[in-house]
Amino acid sequence: LFTLLIAKIAATSLTIGSGGSGGIFAPSLFLGAMTGGFMGTVIHSWFPAYTASPGAYALVTMGAVVAAATHAPITAIIMIFELTQTITIMPPLMAACVVSTLVTTFLNRDSIYTMKLRRRGIDLFEEETHNILKSMRVHDIIDRTPEILRESDNFQTVVERALNSE
């Protein structure tokens, strides 16, 4: 498992670093599963009577890595629960996903998705408003000579004035 983990890290780094389209989400699932499987195998061999199976470690770590990479712990929790349909995995899964998200958010405020946007010059966290109405003042845009319609004006007159007004 450790060899697969190192090979996948190298392959994903080379693919993404060279500008290829290898994806990030699926490799994060794989890296989490291999890391958890490796740790679970080691820990279970030391304390077989007190620990869960290596597969449980793989699932929890898979969720934690996805939650950390995407900054979306609830998505990772629901995804792993849907895969397993096992309620007993929920407490360690929830703890791992929340802690991993908090740590990565503290280290880097961008997720794998917002990092790509930031490289393109789009900052989702910037405070600048894009609401143009907030930057306008009424006295700058008020029409001091509005079109006046009379009660007796017919529809054709109303349409002509609407089309010809500024």
pLDDT given at position 128? 62
Under the banding of pLDDT at 50, 70 and 90, the label for residue 77 is very high
pLDDT given at position 67? 94
DSSP 1: -
Give the tens place of pLDDT for each residue, 5-55.
788 878 877 877 776 666 778 888 888 888 899 999 899 889 988 888 888
Number of C-alpha atoms within 13 angstroms, CB side, residue 1?
A: 17
Q: What is the mean pLDDT of residues 85-107?
A: 93
* DSSP structure string for 108-154: -S--HHHHHHHHTT--TT------GGGG--HHHH--SS-----TT--
pLDDT given at position 24? 77
Angstrom CA distances, 87 to 65, 67, 77, 80, 103, stand at 20, 19, 11, 11, 25
pLDDT given at position 113? 77
Give the tens place of pLDDT for each residue, 99-153.
999 999 999 888 877 777 777 777 767 666 667 777 788 888 888 888 888 899 9
pLDDT given at position 106? 93
| Alpha helices per DSSP H over the chain | 2-17, 25-46, 54-70, 73-84, 90-107, 112-119, 138-141, 155-164
pLDDT given at position 20? 65
pLDDT given at position 130? 67
Under the banding of pLDDT at 50, 70 and 90, the label for residue 61 is very high
Under the banding of pLDDT at 50, 70 and 90, the label for residue 166 is low
CA-CA-CA-CA torsion for 123, 127, 128, 134, nearest 10 degrees? 140
Evaluate whether 59 touches 36 at the Cβ level (below 8 Å). Answer: yes
pLDDT given at position 8? 81
Q: What is the mean pLDDT of residues 69-95?
A: 92
